[in-house]
Amino acid sequence: MPFTVLNSRMVEARIGPGQRMFSQRGAMLAYRGDVAFTPNIQGGQGGVGSMIGRRIAGEATPLMTVEGNGTVMFGHGGHHVHVVDLTGETLYVEADRLLAFDGSLQQGTMFMGSQGGVMGMVRGQVTGQGLFTTTLKGQGSAAVMAHGGVIELPITPRGPVHVDPQAYVAHRGDVRNKLSTALGWRDMVGRGSGEAFQLELSGQGTVYVQASEEKL
Amino acid sequence: MTGPVVHDVYSLPVDDNVNPYAFSVDLNGQWFLQKGKMIAYYGQIDFQGIGHGRLDRLIAGSFHSPLHAADWVVAEGQGKMLLADRAFDVNSFDLDEGNLTIRSGNLLAFQPSLSLKQSIIPGFLTLIGTGKFVAASNGPVVFMEPPIRVDPQALVGWADCPSPCHHYDHQYLRGFLGGLRAHTGIGGASGEEHQFEFVGAGTVLLQSTEQLMPELATGGVPTEAGVPGGGGHVPQSGSQLPQLPGNLGSLQRRFGL
C-alpha cells in the first residue's frame, strides 16, 4: 500500500484486510480504524533462520507488525522521512533507518564483503554501517529515515557518483559501490581535508543522500 | 539560492512567522510569554515576572492556576518581538470564542485576552477565549479529525473536542504472550499498546515525531478527593527516572525507587 506524505517528517499508510506491514517499534503516531500492532521478535520476515541471521548480522532492529483495516501515521525521532517506491528493484538500507515498509517486500541481509570484497568491509566500518546491511526487494514502498532532508542522485553508466560515506542513506538498483580513498601525507599529519574517504557508486540506479553528516 | 534576508523593524512581519522557526509579534500592549522564549526585540518593551504589584490584576484575569504563573513573564510596551524555541517549528493559532488544550512545554506565548487554565489531563494547559497564541512543535503540526487514536508522545493538543480517554489494546494485552510481554518486557512490547482516543467533533493537533519537548512542571493540583492527580506529585521538568520495561516500571514506583 502506498505511503502518503503528510509533511517532511510524517507519512500516512493505508492498510487493508489481509495486508501487513512492518514498522519500527514505537514509530506509530496515530491511527484510525481497527489496527493492531504486534511486536515482532523475529525482526521482520522469514522464519527463525532469518531471525538468527539478522541477529548475527546486527541488523535486527525491533520491528512490529501492523495489521488491520485503517490508516496509520508514522514518524520517529524528528527525522526526515523519505518514501521509496520499489518496482522489482532492490533497496539497500540500514535496518535502523527503516521507518516502515510493505509486507509485500522481501527482506534480506547482505554481507558487505560481497560487494567489493575487503574494501566493502572497510567501507562498512567507515560508514558505520557495520559488516551487514538490509535489502528490500519486490513491489511496494518503504519509508526511510534520514537526518535532514533527502536528495536522490541518479546513477548512470556514464559516470560514477561520489558520496560522503556519512551522508549516504541508501541506494537501489544495480549499483556497484566501492570506497575510494584520497589519503595523502596531509591526512597522516592531521592536516587533511576531512574528505579522505568517498563512496563511489557506479552502475544503474539511485543513491539517497541526506543533508547532514550526522548518523541516526 | 538567495542570501540571508535582512529584516528591520518595518519589514518584520506583523504577528506572523519570519521563517518556520521564528515568530514576530507586533506588540502594542501586553503579551504573556514563557520564560526564555524571546530571542530579540525592537522598541520599548519591558519584561516582568508575573506576580509583582500592579500585574497582580492581570493574573487574576488571565491565569487561573497560580502555581503555574511563575513560568511566565509579561512583555509590555511597543515594538516587535521575536519568539523562538530551540529551532522547533513555531506556529500561531487564532482562537475565536473557543478552547484549545495544549501540552505545557509547547506553548510559547499568548495574548492576555485568552485565559490560561490547567487541563485535567496532567501536563496540559487549556486556553479559553478569543485571541492569538504561539506554540512550538517538533516538526510541522498536522491537524486531524476524530475519531482517531494518538500516540501520547505525538499529541500536541486538541481543540473543541471532548478530552481524550485512554485506549489500551486489550485484545493484545489479554492474550497470554502479549500479557507476558507487556508485564515483563521480555520479548519486547510494541510500544503501541496504549493510545489517547479522541471522539466527537473537533480537531486534534499532532506533531510529526515522538520526540518531546521537556515538560514543564505545571502547577500541582490541590490534594483533594475527586481531583485527578491530586496526590500532589508534580512532574519534574525534563528529568525522568529510567523506567523498567513493561509494567515493572510501576513496581519501581511503588517501591519508591
Q: What is the pTM of this model?
A: 0.74
C-alpha cell at A182: 584520497
To the nearest whole angstrom, how far is the Cα of A36 from the nearest Cα of chain B? 8
Q: Give the one of A39, A64, A78 whose C-beta lies nearest to B138's C-beta.
A: A78
Inside any domain, residue A216: no
Give the tens place of pLDDT for each residue, B167-221. 877 666 556 655 565 555 555 555 667 788 898 888 999 887 655 655 555 555 6
Q: Is residue A182 part of a domain?
A: yes
Q: CATH no. for residue A56?
A: 3.60.160.10
Judged by average pLDDT, the poorest of A26-40, A103-117, B59-73, B109-123 is B59-73
- B48 and B74 Cβ atoms separated by less than 8 Å: yes
Model confidence over A87-124: pLDDT tens digits? 988 998 888 888 999 988 888 877 765 555 566 666 66
Q: What is the number of domains present in chain A? A: 1
Residue bearing the bigger pLDDT, A128 or B70: B70
Share of chain A above pLDDT 70, in %: 73
The CA–CA distances, whole Å, from A191 to A184, A186, B128 equal 10, 5, 60
Q: Which of A15, A22, A28 to mutate to test the interface with B (most CBs of B within 10 A)?
A: A28
pLDDT digits over A154-206, tens only? 999 988 888 888 888 888 988 887 777 766 666 666 666 666 677 888 889 99
Interface check A64 vs B, CB under 8 A? yes
| Among A7, A26, A32, beta carbon nearest to B208 | A7
Partner residue opposite B188 with nearest CB, options A28, A39, A78: A39
Percent of residues, chain A, with pLDDT higher than 90: 16
Lowest-pLDDT choice from A146-160, A180-194, B126-140, B157-171: A180-194
Please indicate, yes or no, if residue A215 is contained in any of the structural domains: no
Give the distance, in angstroms, between the CA of residue B237 and the centroid of all CA atoms in the same chain. 13
pLDDT at position A154 is 92
Q: How confident is the model at residue A83 (pLDDT cuts 50, 70, 90)?
A: very high
Q: Confirm whether A180 is domain-assigned.
A: yes
Mutate to test the interface with A, among B1, B168, B177, B192 (most CBs of A within 10 A): B192
Average pLDDT over residues B96-115: 87
Nearest CA in chain A to B142: A6
DSSP for B66-77, written as a single string: GGGGGGEEEEEE
Q: Residue B233: its pLDDT value, please?
A: 47
A9–B contact, CB cutoff 8 A? yes
List, in order, residues 6 or more apart from A18 with CB less than 8 Å away: none
Distance from CA of A40 to the nearest CA of B (A): 8
- Determine the topology of domain B11-138 in CATH: Double-stranded beta-helix (3.60.160)
Q: To which residue does cell 572497510 refer?
A: A122
A56 touches chain B (CB under 8 A): no
Segments making up each domain of chain B, as ranges = 11-138
Question: What's the pLDDT at B72?
Answer: 79
Q: Which of B148, B204, B209 sits opposite A76 (nearest CB)?
A: B209
Burial of B125 (0-12, 13-18, 19+ CB in 10 A): buried
Cβ-Cβ contacts under 8 Å for A65 (sequence gap 6 or more): A20, A21, A22, A37, A38, A39, A40, A103
